[in-house]
């Protein structure tokens, strides 16, 4: 008897505890042979957006929402959030720029590697909502953080009144921040001057953890950064793949939940991992890294409002519009 064939698919994603069981084959999606490629997020996003090289990939939430404005959107998504992160720590300031509080960012020049980065969409929205920094009160400077010449992965058409500039040729945002050519920088990655201890660079929020805890206490939002997308034509040909992958990604995440609370030996090099996990569960709930639409509708709705207000999506979408229907319900016995 011949072996039953399985659908061979590629999946580009970061090296995460919540996807490791899938990457290592401990969890196998029903009917699928999965080739898991561990890649840096920037490379995954670039290759998937520009060339659709993978069948399945994690993708910036902002980038994915932006693609839905295309005449023929190339991707569909699952409500699986491979990256979530509070981003108050993503704001850095030149210590000579006179920025002592977030409110002082009004009237400044703020660098951002790309205007449409999810982390920056969140922080612009939070600054406007909670710290009196309207979107049009800042000049945004785009460019490579550590290497000159970075450009937006996708074209963005910004609303009137927004001021944007490109970094000068040959200049990096990290160097411009240290030398005072920009006043602040919003970036998902730690800029090299800050990592090196350069006294000219500090965070805008001095107490990052305190600010993030206060934000969660007030809003109940644990920001979503990345979703999992499939090439639309793959989903059209094999609609069953969405549910198969969704179930497998759930199982992989649940195994990571369990392994974090194994106190026989520390899984990660964090001395107080167990009490920190217990504290996170106390503050955010046991399913603090939730998947699915229902548990995340409020978070997604806030992001979609920010995305539209910032000129990155033509229409004000609803959370349900983002995901394939096969991933929004399952059989009940």
pLDDT at 253: 97
Average pLDDT value over all residues in the chain:
94
pLDDT at 331: 75
Identify the H or E element spanning 233: helix 232-237
- In this prediction the pTM is 0.94
| Helix orientation angle between 208-219 and 273-284, rounded to the nearest 10 degrees | 30
pLDDT at 280: 94
Q: How far apart are CA 77 and CA 274, in angstroms?
A: 33
Q: How far apart are CA 172 and CA 241, in angstroms?
A: 42
What is the CB neighbour count within 10 angstroms for residue 52? 16
pLDDT at 161: 83
pLDDT at 332: 67
Task: Give the residues of the chain that fall short of pLDDT 50.
Answer: 1-2
pLDDT at 158: 79
Q: How far apart are CA 68 and CA 232, in angstroms?
A: 11
The answer to whether the CB of 145 falls within 8 A of the CB of 177 is no
Contacts of 164 (CB under 8 A, 6+ apart): 115, 139, 140, 141, 142, 158
Q: How far apart are CA 295 and CA 166, in angstroms?
A: 38
pLDDT at 1: 41
């Amino acid at each position: 008897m011949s072996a039953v064939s399985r659908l061979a698919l590629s999946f580009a994603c970061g090296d995460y505890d919540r996807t490791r069981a899938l990457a290592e084959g401990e969890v196998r999606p029903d009917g699928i042979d999965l080739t898991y490629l561990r890649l840096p997020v920037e490379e995954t996003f670039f290759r998937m957006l520009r060339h659709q090289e993978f069948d399945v990939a994690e993708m910036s939430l902002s980038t994915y929402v932006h693609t839905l404005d295309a005449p023929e959107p190339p991707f569909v998504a699952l409500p699986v959030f491979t990256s979530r992160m509070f981003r108050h720590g993503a704001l850095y300031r030149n210590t000579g720029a006179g920025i002592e509080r977030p409110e002082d960012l009004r009237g400044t020049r703020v660098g951002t590697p790309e205007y449409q980065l999810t982390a920056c969409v969140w922080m612009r929205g939070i600054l406007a909502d909670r710290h009196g920094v309207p979107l049009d009160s800042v000049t945004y400077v785009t460019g490579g953080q550590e290497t000159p010449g970075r450009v937006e992965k996708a074209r963005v058409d910004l609303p009137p009144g927004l001021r944007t500039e490109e970094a000068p040729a040959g200049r990096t945002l990290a160097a411009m921040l240290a030398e005072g050519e920009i006043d602040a920088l919003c970036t998902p990655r730690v800029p090299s001057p800050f990592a090196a201890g350069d006294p000219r660079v500090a965070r805008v929020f001095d107490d990052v953890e305190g600010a993030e805890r206060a934000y969660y206490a007030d809003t109940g939002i644990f920001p979503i950064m990345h979703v999992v997308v499939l090439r639309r034509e793959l989903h059209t040909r094999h609609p069953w793949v969405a549910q198969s992958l969704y179930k497998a990604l759930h199982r992989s995440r649940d195994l990571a939940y369990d392994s974090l609370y194994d106190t026989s030996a520390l899984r990660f090099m964090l001395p107080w991992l167990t009490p920190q996990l217990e504290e996170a569960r106390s503050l955010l709930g046991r399913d603090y890294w939730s998947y699915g639409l229902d548990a995340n509708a409020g978070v997604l709705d806030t992001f979609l409002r920010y995305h539209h207000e910032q000129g990155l999506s033509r229409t004000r979408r609803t959370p349900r519009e983002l995901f394939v229907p096969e991933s929004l319900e399952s059989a009940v016995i």
